[in-house]
Structure 1
Amino acid sequence: MMSVQLINSWITVGIMSFGLVTNILVWITARKLNSMRSSFGIITKNQAICNILMCLLFLIFVGPLQFTPLKLPYQASRFVGTVSMIIYEIAAQLNFFNSLNRFCAVYMIFYYDRIFSNFNTYCLRNFAIVVSVAMCVTFYEFFGCYLYFETEFWYFAYPEDEHCDSLTWYCDFVFNIGLVVSTMFLNLLAAYKAGKLHRIVSDTTGIRMSKDQKKREINFIRQSFFQGLSMSVALVFYRITTPMITDKILLCLDANLWAFMLAFEGGIILLSNQEMLMAVKKKRHGSLVDFIQTNHSMVYFRTDIVSIRTGNLDYVVSNHG
């Protein structure tokens, strides 16, 4: 019979290998698609990089430790724990910036290009990196609340004391759950507004929304919902349900869900973004370049900009990514 440790190691390697492949596909495809050269695409590519780094960290560090009886002292593993938390915090903030991007694209349409210029987008990315590094190093290294690898149960954990419980509750759980809730809320508002604008255009111009357009709106809402839901579920499971589980396999899966979630994001993006999924399929058949060239003018998720002039109502379709 296969040992519990070996089962957990295969689960970790399997999930992270899947995440590595899908997120590499997202990153490569996003770099080649002209429609992903916008601020939305910049954030998406950096999200994929964070996900790739998390997958590599678990494949290089956590997986081998689960395969072997080697037990590292927490002084050695805590640095890996801090790096993993920095990656996670950057990814969480990038998710929020992506939802803010979509929100501004439909609610602040005349200021969108200035707010989310490519330069400002790179500044936001750098801001997320600086904040994440400063926060994690200060709270977890400077204050001594190390995130170390628990070799008995094969997951990253904090020291069990009152100081760390209080610190991680506010700096980890409350902060990140606030980001997740805000991300979901902004995404749903953006999806609602986008659908409303599409209906206004259809009713006014007499052009009915096609089935493909409706499907893209559903995919957008689905992506927003599942990305936010996966993050919130992972946080809640790690904080609340982990202490209640005694089975080592379920405990390892539950406690590592916050990292596994980043691996699953590649699949969520591919399944939700039909343009990217079609590009991946075309690439498998050796015609990705032709697909990009012929589909450069295709409109997928577009924001309908309403420009009101004296006596006239002009509708301008603008591609905001």
Structure 2
Amino acid sequence: METHQLMGLTLVPVSLLGIICNWSVVFAVCKRNTLSHSFSLLTANQAVFNGIQCNLYFLYVAPMIIFDINSLKQYSHVCGLILVICYDVSIQADFLITINRFLAVFLPVQYTTMFSKKRTKHMIAVSFFLSLFIVIVFFHARASIAHMKRLNILRNLKSLRQRILPNPAEPNSTTAMALFILPLVPATKKYVELKKT
């Protein structure tokens, strides 16, 4: 057995464990009707996308690597796109869970209004569509750059980019999600001031 096949075999137990754990969390949250709490919604959301990732690794990536299946390799870019979207949504869900717990501990009065069931669902939807948009734009931009390299167009664009953006930072969804923190800063200062008095 070759090295890449052995690496593919390591994906099987890890992804199988991920499938069992993540879908168990989703099943438990749905079965117990705890979806009325924002923390449960956020946890279930993260578990769904982690579960999708584990399913793809178990059913698509591992067999593609282990058995060297060319038909799966042909469409691996689609699987990769779905995996990156799921990963990005999962990271954003982790960020939202962190903010949720922060508010629950330090600002319990504002917690119920900031993380109501309706607002939590909106945050989940925004984070999903933001991930979808950013990842698709990123993949499309990379494909366009690869095409432009083939056409030697990038030589002229490089100097233009340096004039417009001398030190460009690559945008990512975590930066965009950080905008959720901005309303918390004044509230946190107010909480600290109240604690001092």
TM score, norm. by length of structure 1: 0.44
Stretches of structure 1 that go unaligned for 5 or more consecutive residues are 147-162, 164-168, 184-305, 307-321
1:174-233, CA deviations, whole angstroms, 9 ceiling, x for partnerless residues? x659979xx9xxxxxxxxxxxxxxxxxxxxxxxxxxxxxxxxxxxxxxxxxxxxxxxxxx
**Following TM superposition, by how much is the alpha carbon of 1:39 offset from its aligned partner in structure 2, in angstroms?**
0.3
Tell me which protein shows more strand as a share of its residues: 1
Matches of 1:53 and 1:111 in 2, distance apart? 33
Matched length: 162
CA change 1:145–1:21 in 2 (3 A) is farther
Equivalent pair of 1:5/1:67 in contact (CA under 8 Å)? yes
CA change 1:141–1:116 in 2 (3 A) is same
Equivalent pair of 2:100/2:115 in contact (CA under 8 Å)? yes
List aligned pairs for 1:140-155, cutoff 5 A.
140-144=139-143
State the secondary structure of the residue aligned to 1:54: helix
Where does residue 128 of structure 2 map in the other structure? 129
List aligned pairs for 1:60-75, cutoff 5 A.
60-71=59-70
Matches of 1:145 and 1:68 in 2, distance apart? 32
State the secondary structure of the residue aligned to 2:9: helix
Tell me which protein shows more helix as a share of its residues: 2
CA change 1:60–1:20 in 2 (3 A) is same
List aligned pairs for 1:192-211, cutoff 5 A.
none
Where does residue 185 of structure 2 map in the other structure? none
Residue 25 (structure 1) aligned with residue 24 (structure 2):
yes
Identify which range, 132-141 or 35-44, moves more after superposition: 35-44
CA change 1:178–1:15 in 2 (3 A) is farther
Matches of 2:72 and 2:141 in 1, distance apart? 19
Residue 47 (structure 1) aligned with residue 21 (structure 2):
no
Where does residue 206 of structure 1 map in the other structure? none
Equivalent pair of 1:139/1:145 in contact (CA under 8 Å)? no
Matches of 1:97 and 1:171 in 2, distance apart? 19
Equivalent pair of 2:19/2:54 in contact (CA under 8 Å)? yes
Equivalent pair of 1:26/1:45 in contact (CA under 8 Å)? yes
Where does residue 105 of structure 2 map in the other structure? 106
Matches of 1:84 and 1:75 in 2, distance apart? 16
Where does residue 115 of structure 2 map in the other structure? 116
Amino acid at match of 1:141: H
CA change 1:48–1:89 in 2 (3 A) is same
Where does residue 14 of structure 1 map in the other structure? 13
Equivalent pair of 1:6/1:67 in contact (CA under 8 Å)? yes
Where does residue 83 of structure 1 map in the other structure? 82
**Following TM superposition, by how much is the alpha carbon of 1:36 offset from its aligned partner in structure 2, in angstroms?**
6.0
